[in-house]
Amino acid sequence: MASITARPAEVLGISPQLQRTLTWGRGREMAKHQAITTETGMPVYLCKPRSAWQRGANENTNRLLRQYLPKDADLRTFSQADLDAIAHELNHRPRKTHGYRTPAEIYAGLLNSGDALTA
């Protein structure tokens, strides 16, 4: 289950109140999505083909990732430390869609809110 985007150990690191479901695009990286569900107990839903509106955040994240990892990049040439550094940069990069807050700030806010599912 080699995937830059969904390693069960990292999914399990998500706060339990936020571990409900995971929705993903239909790329090759999710070919073993059943293993993620088995290891985490979290159902994985795949977006419908030709339903771009279901993949907005996924497509934006892919665009951002391409700044670090070209489409034809061999991920085997990157160490886990390299991939973790890329993830850290992206998680601490302000986003217009979040009112110029970072994903890390949004996540922290959810964790600190009284009801993480409605924040």
- Give per-residue pLDDT as tens, 77-99: 999 999 999 999 999 999 988 89
Residue 58 CB partners (closer than 8 Å, separation 6+): 24, 25, 47
> Would you place residue 116 in the very low, low, confident or very high pLDDT band (cuts 50, 70, 90)?
low
Q: What amino acid occupies position 63?
A: R
d(CA 119, CA 113): 7
Which is more confident, 22 or 117? 22
Summarize pLDDT for 3-24 with one digit per residue, the tens: 434 455 566 677 776 766 666 6
Angle between helices 56-65 and 80-91 (to 10 degrees): 120
pLDDT at 29: 66
